[in-house]
């Protein structure tokens, strides 16, 4: 029987997409043992914004959260998302820091590390991949992930080349990450058939979002075309800007005679558990009804929904909404000059803001943002296509060349970890603490200080009581 497995995203991407990653561990700890019996391919539970949100808003130690999930789900593969050399943020970290982060992630319970780069500059995946292989347990899987986008240079052939490259590098699986939900069923069919022909022996995973309303059609076509795993969210946390619903896909696939390996009773129990939690956050306003709706605007304008709302907010602030159409027309121009980067954070903001600036000032690149300058300096990696020579000369000077970010990363190895350890002093209790500080210094420091103060209070209280 044909088999297609399902990754459950409620703890990470659904949580991030629908409620800005504010779901505390305490809300879902009780359902973890049940989830462990569901038969998911994996549970995506960590990485990206979960880490930041734990420290910044939830007063939780992200590592402790991971250990908790591991303890209650001993049998399910736990999965995280890692932005290659950027780890969880937007700057490049040194190679030794990336290696240490991966080592600790595996040690604390992660089985699958899905590694991507915003520009698909795969050199930025190398260190994380090597570290994953170095610290691998028999359950560890390094998954190479492609940021999916549409542009004149992002052809099926180009994606097939990328997959071949990921295979050559040593990844065990490949994931197509359609973060904007703009992959159509037609595109999914062509892509997945092409990729399966080229690297058929490698499991292929599709990650998409329901944002534009196409996801169910797209994953269905993807399954018909040979995809092995799809990302879904328990139904009360599905749809809108989140993933397609787990139970719905289970039901539909069953009728096709496709085995998912899921236990129907368990996945229904999981959804029953999360229903009142969802309601609680709708009532509190944390879940915005807008994030639960379908918005096909991204298909009309060919830019992700988040980027559109960001532009509308900026233009409204500047009382310049009359320039909206002009700014939209400027986006493809800026994107071409930048060598067609995928419109994913931070590139989407970079391209959007520069387009708005160009239009507002009535002259192209009269003012160039710091981020765009850094991009041309090579700090993010290599663009998918050649950048505008004219703009590069303007930023780097005639004949100026961008730096090689990988050489820069390697050069400074060793400094970052040491500096963080010194800055923390006795506030750090573990290597995990040091890593939290390196990733999110201000939030981690605040968290550690609060932790220390709390312990001192408890200690004082106990002595007085005694
Ligand atoms: Co996503």
So what's the pLDDT on residue 463? 57
CA 188 to chain centroid: 20
Taking the centre of ligand 1 as the mean of its atom positions, its distance from the CA of residue 448, in whole angstroms, is 30
So what's the pLDDT on residue 245? 98
Taking the centre of ligand 1 as the mean of its atom positions, its distance from the CA of residue 159, in whole angstroms, is 19
- Burial, 263: exposed, middle or buried (Cβ in 10 Å; 0-12, 13-18, 19+)? middle
What are the residues whose beta carbon lies below 5 Å from ligand 1 (ion)? 13, 179
How many angstroms separate the CA atoms of 135 and 131, rounded?
A: 6
Taking the centre of ligand 1 as the mean of its atom positions, its distance from the CA of residue 304, in whole angstroms, is 12
Taking the centre of ligand 1 as the mean of its atom positions, its distance from the CA of residue 14, in whole angstroms, is 8
So what's the pLDDT on residue 304? 81
Run means of pLDDT, 10 residues per run, the chain, 466 residues = 95 93 97 98 93 94 98 98 90 91 98 96 96 98 96 96 98 96 97 95 96 97 98 97 97 96 98 98 90 87 79 88 93 95 89 94 96 93 95 93 80 82 94 96 95 83 56
For 370, the token pair is: 């710091």
Taking the centre of ligand 1 as the mean of its atom positions, its distance from the CA of residue 466, in whole angstroms, is 52
Taking the centre of ligand 1 as the mean of its atom positions, its distance from the CA of residue 181, in whole angstroms, is 9
Taking the centre of ligand 1 as the mean of its atom positions, its distance from the CA of residue 265, in whole angstroms, is 27
Taking the centre of ligand 1 as the mean of its atom positions, its distance from the CA of residue 209, in whole angstroms, is 6
User: Phi and psi for 240 in degrees, rounded to 5?
Assistant: 60, -130
Taking the centre of ligand 1 as the mean of its atom positions, its distance from the CA of residue 207, in whole angstroms, is 7
Taking the centre of ligand 1 as the mean of its atom positions, its distance from the CA of residue 177, in whole angstroms, is 7
How many angstroms separate the CA atoms of 145 and 175, rounded?
A: 5
So what's the pLDDT on residue 345? 81
Taking the centre of ligand 1 as the mean of its atom positions, its distance from the CA of residue 8, in whole angstroms, is 12
Taking the centre of ligand 1 as the mean of its atom positions, its distance from the CA of residue 208, in whole angstroms, is 6
Taking the centre of ligand 1 as the mean of its atom positions, its distance from the CA of residue 406, in whole angstroms, is 26
Taking the centre of ligand 1 as the mean of its atom positions, its distance from the CA of residue 61, in whole angstroms, is 23
Residue 201: partners with Cβ closer than 8 Å, 6 or more residues away: none
Burial pattern 39-67, b for ≥16 Cβ within 10 A else e, equals: bbbbbbbbbbbbbbbbbbebebbbbebbe
Taking the centre of ligand 1 as the mean of its atom positions, its distance from the CA of residue 276, in whole angstroms, is 24
Taking the centre of ligand 1 as the mean of its atom positions, its distance from the CA of residue 306, in whole angstroms, is 12
Taking the centre of ligand 1 as the mean of its atom positions, its distance from the CA of residue 17, in whole angstroms, is 8
Taking the centre of ligand 1 as the mean of its atom positions, its distance from the CA of residue 153, in whole angstroms, is 23
For 362, the token pair is: 């009535």
Taking the centre of ligand 1 as the mean of its atom positions, its distance from the CA of residue 342, in whole angstroms, is 14
So what's the pLDDT on residue 91? 83
Taking the centre of ligand 1 as the mean of its atom positions, its distance from the CA of residue 148, in whole angstroms, is 11
Distances, alpha carbon 441 to alpha carbons 23, 412, 437, in Å: 22, 19, 4
How many angstroms separate the CA atoms of 287 and 395, rounded?
A: 42
List the Cα angle 117/58/99 in 5-degree steps: 35
Nearest to 150 by CA among 120, 183, 194, 175: 183
So what's the pLDDT on residue 356? 94
- Burial, 407: exposed, middle or buried (Cβ in 10 Å; 0-12, 13-18, 19+)? exposed
Taking the centre of ligand 1 as the mean of its atom positions, its distance from the CA of residue 81, in whole angstroms, is 9
Taking the centre of ligand 1 as the mean of its atom positions, its distance from the CA of residue 176, in whole angstroms, is 10
Report the phi/psi class of residue 92: left, alpha or beta, with left for phi > 0 and alpha for psi in -120 to 50. Answer: beta
So what's the pLDDT on residue 464? 55
Taking the centre of ligand 1 as the mean of its atom positions, its distance from the CA of residue 143, in whole angstroms, is 15
So what's the pLDDT on residue 260? 98
């Amino acid at each position: 029987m044909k088999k297609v497995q399902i990754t459950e995203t409620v703890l990470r991407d659904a949580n991030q997409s629908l409620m800005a990653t504010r779901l505390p561990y305490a809300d879902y700890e009780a359902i973890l043992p049940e989830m462990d019996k569901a038969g998911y391919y994996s549970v995506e539970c960590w990485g990206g914004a979960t880490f930041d949100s734990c420290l910044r808003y939830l007063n939780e130690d992200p590592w402790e959260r991971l250990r908790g999930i591991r303890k209650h789900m001993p049998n399910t593969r736990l999965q995280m998302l890692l932005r290659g050399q950027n780890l969880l943020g937007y700057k490049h970290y040194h190679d030794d820091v990336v290696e240490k982060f991966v080592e600790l992630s595996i040690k604390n319970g992660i089985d699958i590390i899905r590694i991507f780069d915003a520009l698909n500059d795969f050199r930025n995946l190398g260190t994380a991949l090597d570290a994953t292989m170095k610290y691998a347990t028999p359950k560890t899987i390094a998954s190479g992930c492609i940021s999916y986008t549409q542009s004149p240079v992002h052809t099926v052939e180009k994606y097939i080349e990328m997959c071949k490259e990921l295979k050559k590098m040593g990844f065990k699986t490949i994931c197509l990450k359609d973060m904007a939900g703009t992959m159509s069923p037609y595109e999914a069919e062509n892509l997945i058939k092409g990729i399966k022909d080229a690297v058929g022996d490698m499991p292929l995973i599709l990650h998409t979002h329901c944002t534009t309303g196409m996801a169910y059609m797209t994953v269905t076509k993807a399954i018909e075309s040979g995809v092995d795993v799809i990302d879904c969210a328990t139904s009360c946390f599905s749809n809108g800007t989140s993933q397609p619903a787990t139970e719905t896909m289970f039901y539909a696939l069953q009728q096709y005679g496709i085995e998912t390996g899921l236990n129907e009773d368990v996945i229904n129990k999981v959804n029953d558990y999360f229903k009142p939690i969802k309601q609680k956050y709708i009532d509190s306003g944390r879940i915005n009804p807008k994030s639960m709706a379908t918005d096909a605007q991204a298909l009309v304008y060919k830019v992700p929904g988040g980027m559109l709302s960001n532009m509308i907010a900026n233009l409204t602030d500047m009382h310049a909404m009359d320039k909206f159409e002009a700014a939209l027309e400027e986006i493809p121009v800026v994107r071409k000059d930048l060598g067609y980067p995928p419109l994913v954070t931070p590139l989407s903001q970079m391209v959007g803001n520069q387009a708005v600036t160009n239009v507002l000032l009535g002259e192209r690149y009269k003012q160039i943002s710091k981020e765009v300058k850094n991009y041309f300096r090579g700090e993010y990696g290599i663009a998918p296509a050649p950048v505008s020579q004219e703009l590069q000369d303007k930023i780097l000077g005639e004949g100026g060349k961008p730096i090689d970010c990988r050489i820069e990363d390697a050069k400074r190895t060793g400094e970052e970890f040491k500096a963080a350890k010194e800055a923390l002093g006795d506030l750090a209790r573990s290597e995990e603490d040091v890593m939290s500080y390196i990733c999110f210094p201000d939030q981690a420091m605040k968290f550690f200080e609060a932790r220390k103060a709390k312990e001192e209070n408890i200690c004082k209280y106990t002595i007085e009581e005694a």
